[in-house]
A and B are shown apart, each in its own frame.
Chain A
């Protein structure tokens, strides 16, 4: 038995839980030796912990295990053939999950080859028998039908002997012609019989007599499996030449010809013989079919196991191809990335398989230093993986930076719900998602071929969260299929209007088409509705004036808070990567700029809400004008909101504007100063450059020695500090940030825009469809309401749920990807894709063939 030494060289990484960020990297060397590589790799594959570096130098066809892979593919072909045969004979395949261990390929190969040869032999025999049976059946039919012809024709043939006797001349002339009566009989397809008859007439010019009759039963053509109707014909002709012509025509038309018996006794003999032969054939055929079924039944029990085993083997050989041989050509070396936390698991797996395969030299794992950036591993479960996919679609996180996915779990459905906000629609969405979640282990749901369904199924937890949050925002917006719920009793009182006026109620109502409730009048407005928007607004014609103002301010407030959160997460990144100076030179200026300008805007909005009521509504200022004046520093043109406003605004503006040059120049200047300082003192310090990676102790000492050898002018090359580059990056970042603050704040107004669109669509649907049905009188209305409600339901689902849902999903996604993640996320990493059997797709398509 060949002894294989496996030496894994790995770069290890610590992993923390998903929200703190991807793994740390350390370098270390571990070595492992293993026997029977096909045992060790499955062990590693089972744990799902390692991923391999590609070996780029070797051509893929020269790799060692190419023959093995070819063998696996051959096995897959045989398995495909097996599955097709099983499906054809309608044998049920066992359901359920199987997870067999990957075996050595030789056993499986032998079994499969034996099965295949057996199957093909049996099928061939069966086909031959069926062909035979068909011929015999046709012959029987032909004999039966021609006997009928013979009996009706008896009179005709009497004429000939009569003619013979009649005149000597005729007899001799006929003999001289050498005319002899001949018969040709057989079967032809029904569709061809007319053309056949015409051809016969044209060629033989009346020297033939054709009689034909249909067969009642349909015969199956074994070659094509079709069922065709055939016609039995009998041709009587004079002369050999005519006979040859007739035979040629029969060949052209693919007739099945059978010998015509000359006498009645012969005919009955042949018929009896045929009958017994047919019976025998039937029994033999039955036996063959039974045997075939037996073989397929036996195969069907283990066919799924084999398919999965072959897949696993193929995957193993692909991975083994990526390994390289060491000098002695007896060891397989693989370079892998492995998380630090999983190193012990990996070691244990290698030890286990070394023990199992009984090798004398065990496999081992060696850590080696590397300057490559490790891939990013983030562990997720079935709930968080959906949200992680959303984040990864923008970009996989750089190694060890903050992962926005755990926050996305809540903020993404929340922002979706702000745009979708309808109680009824949210309820339907949640129920749909809940159904998918409860039945998530159903095999049919899991492995459908429909792409759309798979998309919905994979995002079932996202849809569930979106639905639940939509229920909440629907309650706050007080919008349920465009109707409001009056749970707590409205705060607005109608009766109080005319208490204060001199007119009577009826007169006032009759003379004015519209009346506006004035909150200034006592008793009209009685405090804010405790949960959500007051239900009276649903019936008001100036509803949008109020709602627009409310929703716009809400969007801006939510947006600024979301962006601030993003900036703070960036600060966490700085702390994590030990770049403390970034905190003062980037985080603080950014926060100052954002909060002192736009945070102040939020403050003004809230202040206006609290400080100004209907009593002094005339004096209520426009926030926007105040904001613009703040920038223009013209505080005197309009009355101020509060005392000291002008000085405060100037102060805030100055600080915010001062933050910009700090942001622009602070970091490059600091880094330049740091670098200059190093040069002068000749100390090699690990500074927090973005390009220099954290290296191991050995590398550090190597570099130090190198520096001292070559002198200080080498320093700039080894540390690769480029002031111009850093300055350029920083200026781009500053401009992007400052302009982005303004544009992104405005971009959050889409929260208002989409919720408005949704509410309006909902209202239109109600007014145009449902209300029409409800207004019809009750006799006709009962019947009429059924199709109306059907139309309402279909339009609600298709337009409001699917279309608006997708739209709000898209916009919430955009808000996350651009406005939120631009503040801190770089997303430039690669994904850690381990070799794991659970990731190999072991599903089947509908026709039973392995994918």
Chain B
């Protein structure tokens, strides 16, 4: 169906979570909560990026494919493609 590359999402999401985790902490305003907010931003970026990365790496080289019912295949053939 749709061809997806690995490189484009990799660049996109790496920059996105890089912005959240590395660039955004610089702009947090000074206040009593500054430390907590910076910690939260970095941890959020790390967790979310890692989670997405695992999902995409697990699917780059699939060792087997989905087993579909013939009705499903028929539907996919004519409605998804």
**Interface residue ranges, A against B (CB under 8 Å):** 17-20, 379, 381, 384, 406-407, 409-411, 414, 418, 472-473, 476, 486, 488-495, 497, 505, 509-510, 512-519, 524-534, 536-537, 539-543, 545-546, 549-550, 553-554, 557-558, 561, 606, 609-614, 617, 620
Asked if A519 and B80 sit within 8 Å, CB to CB, the answer is no
Number of inter-chain CB pairs below 8 Å: 198
Give chain A residues whose Cβ lies under 8 Å from the Cβ of B68.
494, 514-517, 536, 539-541
Asked if B77 and A617 sit within 8 Å, CB to CB, the answer is no
Interface SS, B side: helix
Give chain A residues whose Cβ lies under 8 Å from the Cβ of B9.
528, 530-531
Report which of B39, B51, B57, B64 forms a contact with A407, defined as CB distance below 8 A: B39
Report which of A495, A524, A526, A609 forms a contact with B2, defined as CB distance below 8 A: A526
If the complex has contacts A515-B73, A550-B55, are A19 and B36 also in contact, measured as CB distance less than 8 A?
Answer: yes
Asked if B55 and A17 sit within 8 Å, CB to CB, the answer is no
Give chain B residues whose Cβ lies under 8 Å from the Cβ of A519.
62-65
Asked if A536 and B66 sit within 8 Å, CB to CB, the answer is yes
Asked if A493 and B1 sit within 8 Å, CB to CB, the answer is yes
Report which of A414, A513, A524, A612 forms a contact with B47, defined as CB distance below 8 A: A414
Asked if B62 and A542 sit within 8 Å, CB to CB, the answer is no
Asked if B59 and A534 sit within 8 Å, CB to CB, the answer is yes
Q: How far is the CA of A606 from the CA of B50 in the complex (A)?
A: 12
Beta-carbon nearest neighbor of B5 in chain A: A527
Beta-carbon nearest neighbor of A478 in chain B: B55
Q: Counting CB contacts under 8 A, is B23 at the interface? A: no
Asked if B64 and A617 sit within 8 Å, CB to CB, the answer is yes
Give chain B residues whose Cβ lies under 8 Å from the Cβ of A541.
67-69
Q: How far is the CA of A477 from the CA of B62 in the complex (A)?
A: 17
Q: Counting CB contacts under 8 A, is B26 at the interface? A: no
Beta-carbon nearest neighbor of A475 in chain B: B52
Instruction: Tell me the minimal C-beta distance from A318 to chain B in angstroms.
Output: 31
Instruction: Tell me the minimal C-beta distance from B31 to chain A in angstroms.
Output: 10
Q: Counting CB contacts under 8 A, is B29 at the interface? A: no
Give chain B residues whose Cβ lies under 8 Å from the Cβ of A493.
1, 81
Report which of A518, A528, A561, A613 forms a contact with B56, defined as CB distance below 8 A: A528
Among A381, A418, A495, A612, the most chain B Cβ lie within 10 Å of the Cβ of A495
If the complex has contacts A526-B2, A610-B61, are A514 and B48 also in contact, measured as CB distance less than 8 A?
Answer: no
Give chain A residues whose Cβ lies under 8 Å from the Cβ of B77.
494-495, 505
Give chain A residues whose Cβ lies under 8 Å from the Cβ of B65.
492, 516-519, 524-525, 614
Q: How far is the CA of A408 from the CA of B55 in the complex (A)?
A: 23
Beta-carbon nearest neighbor of A542 in chain B: B67
Give chain A residues whose Cβ lies under 8 Å from the Cβ of B4.
488, 491, 526-530
Asked if B70 and A612 sit within 8 Å, CB to CB, the answer is no
Give chain A residues whose Cβ lies under 8 Å from the Cβ of B43.
407, 409-411
- List the 5 closest A-B pairs by CB distance, nearest first: A540-B66, A489-B2, A517-B65, A613-B61, A527-B4
Instruction: Tell me the minimal C-beta distance from A239 to chain B in angstroms.
Output: 98
Beta-carbon nearest neighbor of A620 in chain B: B63
Q: How far is the CA of A516 from the CA of B73 in the complex (A)?
A: 10
If the complex has contacts A509-B74, A519-B65, are A609 and B44 also in contact, measured as CB distance less than 8 A?
Answer: no
Asked if B51 and A509 sit within 8 Å, CB to CB, the answer is no
Asked if A509 and B70 sit within 8 Å, CB to CB, the answer is yes
Give chain B residues whose Cβ lies under 8 Å from the Cβ of A557.
50, 54
Chosen A-B contacts, 14 in total, with CB atoms closer than 8 Å, are: A17-B35, A406-B35, A414-B47, A488-B4, A489-B2, A494-B1, A494-B80, A510-B70, A517-B65, A528-B57, A530-B4, A531-B9, A541-B69, A542-B66
Give chain A residues whose Cβ lies under 8 Å from the Cβ of B8.
530
Give chain B residues whose Cβ lies under 8 Å from the Cβ of A515.
67-68, 70, 73
Beta-carbon nearest neighbor of A617 in chain B: B63
If the complex has contacts A516-B67, A519-B65, A609-B61, are A488 and B2 also in contact, measured as CB distance less than 8 A?
Answer: yes
Q: How far is the CA of A18 from the CA of B37 in the complex (A)?
A: 11
Asked if B60 and A609 sit within 8 Å, CB to CB, the answer is yes
Give chain B residues whose Cβ lies under 8 Å from the Cβ of A611.
61
Among B44, B56, B58, the most chain A Cβ lie within 10 Å of the Cβ of B58
In addition to A18-B35, A381-B32, A509-B73, 15 A-B residue pairs with Cβ atoms within 8 Å of each other are A406-B36, A414-B51, A418-B51, A491-B2, A526-B4, A528-B59, A529-B4, A530-B12, A531-B52, A539-B68, A540-B66, A546-B66, A550-B58, A606-B57, A617-B63
